[in-house]
Structure 1
Amino acid sequence: MKTFTILSICFLISIKLIAQQFNIVDFSRNISAENIKNDVYELASAKMQGRETAKNGQKLAAVYIYKQFKKAGLIGYKMQTDSLSYFQNFSIYSKTVPGLNLSVNGKKLSEYEDFALSGYKSFKADDLDLIYLGTAPDSSYTNKDLSNKAVLFLTSNLYAGPVKALDIINKTNCNIVFYCNPLNPHQIQTVMQRQKNMFSRRQILHPKRFPLNIPLDSLAQPEQYNRYNRMLSTYQGPISAKAVAKILKVKVKDLKKCINGSPFKIKNDEKLKIDVVLQNEYNLQSTENVIACIPGTEKKDEYIVLSAHYDHIGMNGQKIYYGANDNASGTAALLEVARKLKKAVDAGLQLKRSFVFAAFTGEEKGLLGSKYFVESNTFPHSNIKTNLNIDMLGRKDNRHENLNFVYLLGANDLNPKLKSITDSINNQYPKLELDYSYDTADNFLYSASDQASFVKRNIPAIFYFNGLHNDYHKTTDTPDKIDYEAIKKVSSLIFLTAIELANQE
């Protein structure tokens, strides 16, 4: 408690000294709810078409954000003022439905009718042994080496198949696992259609460099690296009961009996051999982060990164997912904080460190924009001192009676001083209820927005968030439901916190 009091006094003195010279607290009070509202209405308008990554609406939003940065007097992240220096262009890859071929003892099965198979890399193998495990009790495969073999097991639920398949892969080193549900012959069609739909939605940065959206060079431990490579070389998928019955030369009713506790013996002594081909293909699309800077002075090569994702989930037919709260709200807050910080600098505020304002795309596709920003070393990791990330402001969840609050995640993690700094500033202004109830490193929300890309590189971060609500990822997430004065208050806190972090020794 004593340490906290001393820190609080220091931070208050720091802010008060700045305020006496430059009216920084007044600058924060002058953050405009009207500007934020105008930005949200523009970003969440029908012409933006839900801002889906790599689609026209997202690109319209990118141009709008660039124009706001430019108009405010910020320079591009390449420390230049030409329009291209504000856009960080990169490619994303969408996986098409893989081409499949599978033969068992020379008899060809029909892809996406008899079976499906998925994996991260293309694959071809001839004469692999196919091992039948029945209902796959642990005793049937634990401590067995099934390297360079394929495995087939029965399950009462195909949706549980992938978890069991992964356990078999990890314990036996097999290459391929098929799972079959003989109790519900129609379930496989639903599962395979869902898989095909997932292929078209899944996007990654690069099929070779980031096949699992994990940077290879972050896997420093040999055990982690080997496990990662193992995952890239394994394949699994559902197979129909009709196909399995033919393969094993039994009847479907025998498979059902096996599930119900009456296993059968395979009468055929002939070894089961499979030939398999899986061919992955990707469609390449271009997209862009929008990044602007306010240079610092004596520590200008050190950076405080303020961020928000501006993409959303696009359209479904003629229905637009406007994404006003998720995350036009955070993007609008980012823009307004950038405007006011630039005005403060123009009025004479000295900043030791530089500010980077990053509007990320691809968050809804797996944090792709922030991942690219961090992993491509846009700025050296050691030079990024803190990330302040803003996502979903201005709508309250059912845990609070009003919007005079904000959740903060990350303040207690990599740099615990962030909580002391935030608390001290907030006690002076804007006096919000700071809710740390989600502020644990294992909370799923901590990895659910763009701060996670920074945290993976041990860069301290705070995630500002007002919680989930019933309009989340629905067409009803519209600008008229947002409290803009509430966003203004959180923006003021971010504004003052950013200045304190920029000028710390």
Structure 2
Amino acid sequence: MLRFLLPPIFVASAAAAQQAGPPAVASPTSGRSVGRGAQPDLSAVASAKADTIPDAVVAIARSTPAAELRRQLFALAAPGMEGRRMATRGDSAAARYVATRFTELRLAPPSHRGYYQPISARRRTRTATLTLGSHSYAFGEGWILHPRSDSMQLRNVAIVYAGADSAFGFMNRLPDLHEKAVLLPGAAFRSGRFEAIARIEKTLRDRGAVAVLWTDNLVTRILGRRQANAFLPEYENSLDEVPAGFPEIGVVPGQMSALLAGESSLSVDSVGTISGPQSLETFTLQSTLSLEVKSAYTTETAPNVLGVLRGTDPDASCIVVTAHRDHDGLNGKTLYPGAVDNASGTVALIQLANMMQQAARAGHRPRRTIVFASVTGEERGLLGSSWYVSQPVMPLEKTRAVLNIDMLGRVDSFYKNRRADSNYTYVLVEDSAGVGLMNEVRAANAAFNALHLDDRYTRPPYYQRALRGSDHYPFFRKKIPFVCFSTGFNEDYHQPTDTPGKINYVLLTQQTQLIFLTLWNMANSEGR
């Protein structure tokens, strides 16, 4: 699952909230639900729909081979796959592995080029310099920038100190802000008050400000994580929706202390709290700010792997099943195998295709065509799924819904530490078209197994992380309904310790069974 699409402060705050644990959850509803009011009882609907799944199809689900899932997962997470980073020989090897399985299963290639859909991505190398007063700092040297703009230049910009009021009571007394930067309280960034920050920044932009400056020891923690991930390449990302040209510059408290050295009325502690006789006042600092950002690009290619199972109704819409196969690759000689993220989803996708072909041979070919998409570049910014959405093999207007699989077979930190029952899956559904996706999930779960369907990721502060963090998001932006299955974040997330030996293959099998029957319902329900 993608780490880098959201602002780093959002990811840090969401991770902290996860450790705290959510409130008690109810069963998912048919679509996004963030409230805690009474939920509609859909059990009767689900039971009725479960009765429409043919016995032969349920029998295919019951026969899901845990040993085969294990064998394939060990193969995809093996050292020879080199961690499957996009545009490396490891990802190419994994793509060939998936294409070979599609060939064995006799899925139809979507075009004359076979199973491969080449994507192009622009790899970015960035240089930047921040100057605060008389001190200059290279990119990443004690400061962070969001959004990570391609190019930017600010020269000798005056800095308006807004005051240390984290409730933003200073807004009515700010001076002229034209072509100036505004120093905001860091506590708002630390506490994750992003909606409030966005409102304040819009007002500042409207009043002519060109940047926001803030300080907190959170910047130190973010820089530590970035240093650990410095081996990972960065790519141009069309999904970053933060307005360009209005940077948020976060600096470590030490740099802010140097900036304020000439301000006898202000000082900053090691946490980043600014204090002093004038700490609640608003005024222009003596020092100025300069920022220069430059980027260079190279183009890289990598393949999505697509296989098609034709349905019985040529006029019906299609279903797209996605699971990214890429991960973080090698850091020197250190392997990031990505067993949960997302070799698990990849083997589940292969098994879904296998079971659907078994159903077809048994006389139960699905009504809708199904596109099985092993996409690349998810970890680098949803690149493969974004490419598919821009160049679909079936028209988007004929795509009824997307089923996305991202991380199965491991109990996450919440369930491991706080819940005895680990027979669960997180379900995120967005069904603005009202095609009944949640009913289809419930009906599949009612057929047998009865996993706990946890709706945690429909709730703040988790919703945005889950919505924007995986391959369903480019489809969602095109108003295509989706359902995503996941088991959440465990302690080995994006670590070299995410190994196939730690997978719970019983849980992986149960989740794959549920997803198969959900796919069956999605591919055979009424409607277009």
Q: TM-score range by the shorter chain?
A: 0.7 to 0.9
Note if contact 2:212-2:246 (Cα within 8 Å) is conserved in structure 1.
Answer: no
Q: Which of 109, 114, 117 in structure 2 is aligned with 1:85?
A: 114
| Matches of 1:3 and 1:159, distance apart in 2 | 40
TM-score for the superposition, normalised by structure 2: 0.73
Q: Secondary structure of the equivalent of 1:501? A: helix
Q: Secondary structure of the equivalent of 1:299? A: coil
What is the CA-CA distance between 1:335 and the residue it aligns to? 0.4
1:200–1:460 CA distance, 2 compared to 1 (3 A): same
Corresponding residue for residue 68 of structure 1: 101
Corresponding residue for residue 358 of structure 1: 373
CA deviation string 1:226-274 (max 9, x = no partner): xx54x4443535383575357x5x56x864599332239x9xx998776
Q: What is the 5 A alignment of 1:218-367?
A: 228-229=242-243, 231-234=244-247, 236-238=249-251, 240-241=255-256, 244=259, 248=262, 255=267, 259-263=274-278, 276-299=291-314, 302-367=317-382
| Matches of 2:274 and 2:479, distance apart in 1 | 48
What is the CA-CA distance between 1:44 and the residue it aligns to? 0.8
Corresponding residue for residue 53 of structure 2: 15
Q: What is the 5 A alignment of 1:375-454?
A: 375-396=390-411, 397-398=415-416, 401=420, 404-410=423-429, 415=434, 417-428=436-447, 430-438=448-456, 440=458, 442=460, 443-444=462-463, 446-447=466-467, 448-454=469-475
1:365–1:143 CA distance, 2 compared to 1 (3 A): farther
Q: Which of 165, 172, 177 in structure 1 is aligned with 2:204?
A: 172
Corresponding residue for residue 218 of structure 1: none
Amino acid at match of 1:25: V
Q: Which of 171, 175, 178 in structure 2 is aligned with 1:147?
A: 178
Corresponding residue for residue 84 of structure 2: 51
Alignment identity in percent? 27
Q: Secondary structure of the equivalent of 2:494? A: coil
Kindly indicate whether structure 1 or structure 2 has the higher relative contact order, using CA contacts under 8 Å at least 6 residues apart. 2
What is the CA-CA distance between 1:326 and the residue it aligns to? 2.1
- Number of residues of Structure 1 aligned to a counterpart in Structure 2: 466
What is the CA-CA distance between 1:328 and the residue it aligns to? 1.2
Corresponding residue for residue 494 of structure 2: 473
| Matches of 2:102 and 2:320, distance apart in 1 | 15
Note if contact 1:62-1:289 (Cα within 8 Å) is conserved in structure 2.
Answer: yes
1:94–1:168 CA distance, 2 compared to 1 (3 A): farther
| Matches of 2:230 and 2:188, distance apart in 1 | 22
Corresponding residue for residue 493 of structure 1: 514
Q: Secondary structure of the equivalent of 1:281? A: strand
1:458–1:120 CA distance, 2 compared to 1 (3 A): same
The Cα RMSD (Å) is 4.2
1:254–1:161 CA distance, 2 compared to 1 (3 A): farther
More helix by share: 1
| Matches of 2:187 and 2:422, distance apart in 1 | 47
| Matches of 2:288 and 2:491, distance apart in 1 | 51
Q: Secondary structure of the equivalent of 1:75? A: coil
Q: Which of 52, 63, 67 in structure 2 is aligned with 1:30?
A: 63
Amino acid at match of 1:70: T
Gaps in structure 1 of 5+ consecutive residues: 215-227
Corresponding residue for residue 203 of structure 1: 234
Corresponding residue for residue 221 of structure 1: none
| Matches of 2:98 and 2:164, distance apart in 1 | 55
